Amino acid sequence: MRLLFALVVSLLTALPASAGEAPRARDLGVPFNGVPGPLNAITDVAGVTVGQTTLIEDLADGRAVRTGVTAVLPRGGDTLQRPVFGAWFALNGNGEVTGTTWIEESGQLEGPLMLTNTHSVGVVRDATIAWRIRQGGPDASGYYWSLPVVAETWDGHLNDINGFHVKPEHVDAALAGASGGPVAEGNVGGGTGMVCYEFKCGIGTASRIVEVLGETYTVGVLVQANYGLRDELVIAGVPVGRRLREHRIYSEPDPNAAGTGSIIVVVATDAPLLPHQLKRVARRPALGVGRLGSIAHNGSGDIFVAFSTADGSLGRSDRLLTHHSLPNDVLDPLFGAAVEAVEEAVVNALVAARDMVGDQGRYAKAMPHEELIEVIARPEH
Amino acid sequence: MRLLFALVVSLLTALPASAGEAPRARDLGVPFNGVPGPLNAITDVAGVTVGQTTLIEDLADGRAVRTGVTAVLPRGGDTLQRPVFGAWFALNGNGEVTGTTWIEESGQLEGPLMLTNTHSVGVVRDATIAWRIRQGGPDASGYYWSLPVVAETWDGHLNDINGFHVKPEHVDAALAGASGGPVAEGNVGGGTGMVCYEFKCGIGTASRIVEVLGETYTVGVLVQANYGLRDELVIAGVPVGRRLREHRIYSEPDPNAAGTGSIIVVVATDAPLLPHQLKRVARRPALGVGRLGSIAHNGSGDIFVAFSTADGSLGRSDRLLTHHSLPNDVLDPLFGAAVEAVEEAVVNALVAARDMVGDQGRYAKAMPHEELIEVIARPEH
Amino acid sequence: MRLLFALVVSLLTALPASAGEAPRARDLGVPFNGVPGPLNAITDVAGVTVGQTTLIEDLADGRAVRTGVTAVLPRGGDTLQRPVFGAWFALNGNGEVTGTTWIEESGQLEGPLMLTNTHSVGVVRDATIAWRIRQGGPDASGYYWSLPVVAETWDGHLNDINGFHVKPEHVDAALAGASGGPVAEGNVGGGTGMVCYEFKCGIGTASRIVEVLGETYTVGVLVQANYGLRDELVIAGVPVGRRLREHRIYSEPDPNAAGTGSIIVVVATDAPLLPHQLKRVARRPALGVGRLGSIAHNGSGDIFVAFSTADGSLGRSDRLLTHHSLPNDVLDPLFGAAVEAVEEAVVNALVAARDMVGDQGRYAKAMPHEELIEVIARPEH
Amino acid sequence: MRLLFALVVSLLTALPASAGEAPRARDLGVPFNGVPGPLNAITDVAGVTVGQTTLIEDLADGRAVRTGVTAVLPRGGDTLQRPVFGAWFALNGNGEVTGTTWIEESGQLEGPLMLTNTHSVGVVRDATIAWRIRQGGPDASGYYWSLPVVAETWDGHLNDINGFHVKPEHVDAALAGASGGPVAEGNVGGGTGMVCYEFKCGIGTASRIVEVLGETYTVGVLVQANYGLRDELVIAGVPVGRRLREHRIYSEPDPNAAGTGSIIVVVATDAPLLPHQLKRVARRPALGVGRLGSIAHNGSGDIFVAFSTADGSLGRSDRLLTHHSLPNDVLDPLFGAAVEAVEEAVVNALVAARDMVGDQGRYAKAMPHEELIEVIARPEH
């Protein structure tokens, strides 16, 4: 058994790393609707920065660290000073996102949004508070306490999750390294050890540009995707999972590993939306994962957070605030953009991920690009 | 049995009607916290109008009509043209308020708020649509459909509720007759046949004036109160219900009549609040009825709706809207005002109500003012 | 203009009615996953009955009645005596389903579930109460009041909706005529005047059989579908709407008619599920309409109700109740079944609907079967 | 300044500790309704155990540790093997309770319920996972991951909260030390540094015995109380806070310290209730704090969790589960019990707390028992 694993490991690690830039889903010819932003990433929303700490290390006794932290800062370096309006929704709540009770109550997201593995939510939460304290003074809302937003998916198939390998310094590094520009996808940050549709998966991102009432707005999405069964996967309407059934190379010593998992979706926009409107946006990822064939398994934490950077008035308690919002009647383009960007972000995560051997020799193979191209090009049922 | 009822009826109807203006709770010396508005009524919120149709008629076979319709128009005659931000909360949802799904989704209340008896919600709803159609054109939000907000409590103890006596013209009359100024309380409108804490009850109202960030705002409340058991009633901290146990004059041929019932609370304010903030306000009536001793019975529809008239921008779909809001950090005076006004509005309903004999000779006696004054003046446990 | 309409009417009505049984989606070769029940209908869930009143009449001045009532009785003739566990969810709440507050609070659905047009919800609600009263005694839960569940979608494009043509007798007829067996689809009952994806639409149904822990359970779905834009429609992964763009024959004198609309989904099952588990089932239709390309428009009331007939203990208040439930860990087959049945039920509604000319000569053409078969057979992007 | 604080410290610490058993609220003659269990504590619910770690230490530079951990185990040593049905509600969500998303989704509470300070939620969460792992195997629900429930209130007035003094071993100690029997109240466990109504406060507990359908059930409550302003406090209907205004001895160097705070309520019962019924119970603490004068401040995390130990079937995934429940119609005694027990538990926390000097010399004085007795005995407005 162990020998077999070792063999597979060497086979997998022998695969050549992609030379140069990794292709993204649309580079492979996967068709998507809508118009992406310049980066086709959450960072197309002005001000949003992303930082990621990726932890990959082999320890004694077959234990392997395959995890990390992803930080999304709604306003980059200005995130603590100026909250954003926010909202959340759980399509299936087998997961943790701390801070949601205050998001719901306040209508605001008052700091960064952190993603990590299920068993490291606590350390990331407290470390985010410590980081905030080090920035000096009470946070923007004037309180002396913090209720950080930390989300998770479970990487226990590939990662030694019960080794608690995420440390405060990894949180600090993700926060300190956050920047605009292209966002690394696949086996990185909180997504390092994630698996979806029984393919290696992880972090993915995408964006859409829409026009509403004569103005141009951006909707950006970042996912930490770790859900779904192979047979369920549909891409661009094609039952890719069933067509690539023979490509199932996925170790399953753990009977609970398959069919479980979760997806965290972060939707950012610069469109002026109030919290109750962002709640509407936060439900749309359900339609995006619906297009991909998801049934939202019992074991899945399918939890979605949306925020808008448009409002610059938040964070003051000493005066009346002024806000803008789009009328409800014109929100459809934003709803559609959210659906489309979620769909593409997950496929981007699948395409960007690389084969990985992890804890106790368990492994997950990435989606083969050539075969994907082929089945997409020849759709059949 | 019938003879006994007849006797009671004549005894009750022999009670002299109060000469001149009916006193309100604070006229009797019941102590309340906070500063009420000039009318101590929901109509202290500028623009809010209230119209009521009271139906009292004796029919053949002991059947009696004791019901009605109360209409609250957030912006008076301008209600259909300019929606208000709104929100709702059910402390115990054994009741109906139509239109809440769209309030929740849109963050808006797009027309009048109607109150009636449980079995007449339908006729009031459709008649409100017909009324709206007669005002011409699509409603303010640009749609060609309406989702009216109609709330109810159950008056089947005193009213021949299964006779369906509310008709479209009664709805029209309530809407047409809506005005500012003092609001009739007690046995009027939707509250005509209502009973609370086993005393005759009905419509009540109150208001509070608070200062926030240097500005003065009004919180107005209207209740249709029909809930609670005698022993539970606490007024101004005094267990009035238990102290007035001997005054229990309440026919109970119907084993389901006691302990059931509901309370609808409408909270209006001119403070600039966004929908998610109004949702917070809409939860505060729970604390107000808590002060009155409520445990929110299983059979009670304790449902609360809050709206703000501050926002004048709603109802347009052709441009970016501009809103104002108070920061979350300064909302406590408004929360307190809502709690206090609910407490006083219910006591006002109890004080304003008059003894009533109704369907099949069933009756409910009003709270005796002198005894109330006495037990309040001599608090003991 | 009027002439043109008249012409179109005669053209459309000249279309031969389908000889014999109308085909259903899978008869046309549309591929679906999963195993349907014998009827592929909500009535595959034992005890569930469906009754429909279809109102089609031409009035003076071009006014046309194209509406109706659909009644779903969870336990057929025993519905009032024995409530079922139930739950609901609003993906986008631009619609009305009365009674949801009590479903949420009680975990029960205590009577029939009625579907009609938006402006007739009231009459159907009160008529359902009157019908219940005529059945004698208080309802099963021991109360003397009723909070009926009545859902709606908007048929104002084809129906003279502001003529309020649904009357109490139509409600009675739907309830009285309810039966098991095949369920009429398309232009019937509450779905008579409905349109989806800019094709004529209406009532649709489907079912799935799944095995859980060695037992066989049925999930049945009924939809009243009236939502979506042509370009959004995806069937079996194929962008059918865009491929059949040239078949757009849909009158649009009313700028609000397109892109609005709603979908009501009723999910029935005989699997033993508790209310909080039914709430999980009630969210799955979101994934079903996701597969069909929906983005859940702002103007759409996408509201889903789920119930289970498994529990026979409800409706008693005099003793401890005994329930059974499936463990959360084994619910995935039921979740998948709900998603699949919703997807097929909507396509069934599209396939079953027939061309209709309605109010003021407005019309909607049904999906052409041959073209549908062709584009499904030749999937391309 | 520093000298002054030192002086106050020595004055306060010079106060004699109560000799023998600390009195509880009803020992002082505070009147409450209802019948308490033998311990008048959450542990009256059979199987429930409570463990507490109290951290009190003076560090350099005036820094002081005044915090801790309280663990509530629904089934004592059997907690991990057999989940309980559970539910939660946020009256005002300015707080964190991790794990609520899964409680909502699953209807279950799958491990202990932990209480600590706001900035130590993370360490307590991850340490609870580590503790669970050490118990061996996957947890009862069969998953390999944990979503612990950890609640908090803010003790930053008296505790060096940003020193992060709660460590994993303190979590272990609270869990290991959990037992039935009397529960320590006041300055203990998670409540060590808490303040309510500007009096020293902390952990409180109470219980009620009720009879439903001929069976006796227990409702037990534990609170970590840290909310409210002095003037708001009402006990037994008496405005105790205003009457004891002159006793306000509370340092306020921190402008944010007053008026903020939170209350976590845990309601346990052995009554057979399903999750949707427990959700109803979880809303009743709002009425209990309403009786105490709360308005639920913006800055307050008023979050309530309820669970029932009655169901022994949970935790198995391999067979149909059997449950019992009380009919909705008979729940009122349980609702009333929850309201009453919350009211008494908070007063117990106030009565049990002792004067405390804490971080940077800040202090909070406990409610003076004699004065409390006096104002309760002589109620006046």
pTM, to two decimals = 0.94
Q: Which of residues 126-155 of C touch A (CB under 8 A)?
A: none
When pLDDT is cut at 50, 70 and 90, the band that residue C16 belongs to is: very low
Find chain B residues with C-beta within 8 A of D381's C-beta.
Answer: 31, 236-237, 379
- Give the per-residue SS3 of chain C: CHHHHHHHHHHHHHCCCCCCCCCCHHHHCCCCCCCCCCCCCHHHCCCCEEEEEEEEEECHHHCEEEEEEEEEECCHHHCCCCCEEEEEEEEEECCCECCHHHHHHHCEECCCEEEEEHHHHHHHHHHHHHHHHHCCCCCCCCCCCCCCEEEEECCCCCCCHHHCCCCHHHHHHHHHCCECCCCCCECCHHHCCCEECCEECCEEEEEEEEEECCEEEEEEEEEEEECCCHHHCCECCECHHHHCHHHCCECCCCCCCCCCCEEEEEEEECCCCCHHHHHHHHHCHHHHHHHCCCCCCCCCEEEEEEEECCCCCCCCCCCCEEEEECCHHHCHHHHHHHHHHHHHHHHHHHHHCCCEECHHHCEECCCCHHHHHHHHHCCCC
Any idea which fold C2-14+27-354 has? L-amino peptidase D-ALA esterase/amidase (3.60.70)
Q: Which of B92, B234, B328 faces D298 most closely, judged by CB atoms?
A: B328
| Span between the terminal Cα atoms of chain B, in Å | 37
Nearest-Cα residue of chain A relative to residue C240: A237
Are B143 and C256 inside 8 Å of each other by CB?
yes
Return the pLDDT at A249.
61
CA B108 to chain centre: 20
Show the tokens assigned to B364: 């409910």
Label the pairing between strands A203-212 and A321-325. unpaired
* Angle at C361 (CA atoms; ends C357, C362), nearest 5 degrees: 70
Which residues of D belong to the active site?
262, 300, 302
Q: What is the pLDDT of residue A171?
A: 98
Looking at the DSSP bridge assignments, the partners of residue D153 are D117
CA distance A116 to A124: 8
**Which residue, A322, C138, D47, is CA-closest to B118?**
C138
**Helix (H), strand (E) at residue B301:** strand B301-308
| Rg, chain B, Cα only | 20
A258–C contact, CB cutoff 8 A: no
CA distance B237 to D319: 52
- Asked about C58 being catalytic, the answer comes back as no
Of D276, D316, D329, Cβ closest to residue C327: D316
At position D296, the amino acid (one-letter code) is A
Contact C93 B105 (CB under 8 A): yes
With beta carbons less than 8 A apart as the criterion, state whether D181 and D207 touch: no
Q: What is the maximum alpha-carbon separation in chain C?
A: 68
Flag whether residue D179 sits within 8 Å of chain C, measured between CB atoms: no
CA–CA min distance B108, chain A (Å): 10
Catalytic residue among B262, B270, B294, B359: B262
The partner residue sitting opposite B379, judged by closest CB among D329, D331, D379, is D379
Q: Which helix (H) or strand (E) holds D220?
A: strand D215-226
Alpha-carbon distances of D362 from A141, D44, D155, D159, rounded to whole Å: 23, 36, 11, 9
Contacts of D138 (CB under 8 A, 6+ apart): A256, D144
DSSP sequence for A355-367 = -EE-GGG-EEPPP
pLDDT tens for the 381 residues of chain D, in order: 343 333 333 333 333 334 346 899 999 999 999 999 999 999 999 999 999 999 999 999 999 999 999 999 999 999 999 999 999 999 999 999 999 999 999 999 999 999 999 999 999 999 999 999 998 766 555 557 889 999 999 999 999 999 999 999 999 999 999 999 999 999 999 999 999 999 999 999 999 999 999 999 999 999 999 999 999 999 999 999 999 987 666 665 444 455 568 999 999 999 999 999 999 999 999 999 999 999 999 999 999 999 999 998 898 899 999 999 999 999 999 999 999 999 999 999 999 999 999 999 999 999 999 999 999 998 765
Query: Is B17 buried (19+), middle (13-18) or exposed (0-12) by CB count in 10 A?
Result: exposed
Shortest CA gap A316–chain B (Å):
7
pLDDT digit string (tens) for C159-211?
999 999 999 999 999 999 999 999 999 999 999 999 999 999 999 999 999 99
CA of B272: which chain A residue's CA is closest? A320
The pLDDT tens digits of the residues spanning C275-307 come to 999 999 999 999 999 999 999 999 999 999 999
Residue of chain B whose Cα is closest to the Cα of C302 = B101
D118 min Cα distance to partner chain A (Å): 7
**Residues of D whose CB is below 8 A from C106:** 276, 328
3-class SS letters over A22-87 = CCCHHHHCCCCCCCCCCCCCHHHCCCCEEEEEEEEEECHHHCEEEEEEEEEECCHHHCCCCCEEEE
Higher pLDDT, C379 or A206: A206
pLDDT band at B19 (very low <50, low <70, confident <90, very high): very low
Q: Which residues are paired to D217 by β-bridges?
A: D210
| Digitized pLDDT (tens) for each residue of chain A, 381 residues in all | 343 333 333 333 333 334 346 899 999 999 999 999 999 999 999 999 999 999 999 999 999 999 999 999 999 999 998 999 999 999 999 999 999 999 999 999 999 999 999 999 999 999 999 999 998 766 555 557 889 999 999 999 999 999 999 999 999 999 999 999 999 999 999 999 999 999 999 999 999 999 999 999 999 999 999 999 999 999 999 999 999 987 666 665 454 455 568 999 999 999 999 999 999 999 999 999 999 999 999 999 999 999 999 998 898 899 999 999 999 999 999 999 999 999 999 999 999 999 999 999 999 999 999 999 999 998 765
A193 and chain D: CB distance < 8 Å anywhere? no
Burial class (CB in 10 A: 0-12, 13-18, 19+), B233: buried
D266 vs C14, which has greater pLDDT? D266
SS3 (DSSP) at A206: strand
pLDDT of res. A369: 96
CB A337 within 8 A of CB A44: no
Listed in sequence order, the residues at least 6 apart from D259 whose beta carbon sits closer than 8 Å to its beta carbon are B332, D229, D297, D299
Nearest by CB to B126, which of C106, C119, C138?
C119
The shortest CB-CB distance from A130 to any of D97, D154, D164 is to D164
Share of chain C above pLDDT 90, in %: 84
Is B120 annotated in the active site? no
C-alpha–C-alpha distance, residues B156 and B162, integer Å: 8
Give the amino acid at A59. Answer: L
Search chain A and give the residue with CA nearest B87.
A276
Closest CA to A311 of A118, A78, A131: A78
**Chain D interface includes C107 (CB < 8 A):** yes
Task: List chains adjacent to chain B, taking adjacency as at least 3 C-beta pairs closer than 8 Å.
Answer: A, C, D
How many interface pairs between A and B have CB atoms less than 8 angstroms apart?
85
- CA dist C265 and A287 (Å) reads 16
Query: Roughly what angle, to the nearest 10 degrees, separates helices A121-134 and D121-134?
Result: 160
Q: What is the dihedral of CA A308, A313, A315, A320, to 10 degrees?
A: -130
- Which other chains touch chain D, taking contact as 3+ CB pairs less than 8 Å apart? A, B, C
C-alpha distances in Å from residue C22, one per residue of A69, C68, D206: 56, 20, 66
Q: Return d(Cα D366, Cα D247) in angstroms, integer.
A: 10
- How is residue A175 written in tokens? 């926060």
Residue ranges covered by each domain of chain B: 2-14+27-354
User: Would you place residue B5 in the very low, low, confident or very high pLDDT band (cuts 50, 70, 90)?
Assistant: very low
Please report residues of D whose CB lies closer than 8 A to that of C317: 327-330
Q: From residue A5, how far is each of A159, A200, A245, A249, A339 by CA, in Å?
A: 16, 17, 21, 12, 39
Start-to-end Cα distance in chain A: 37
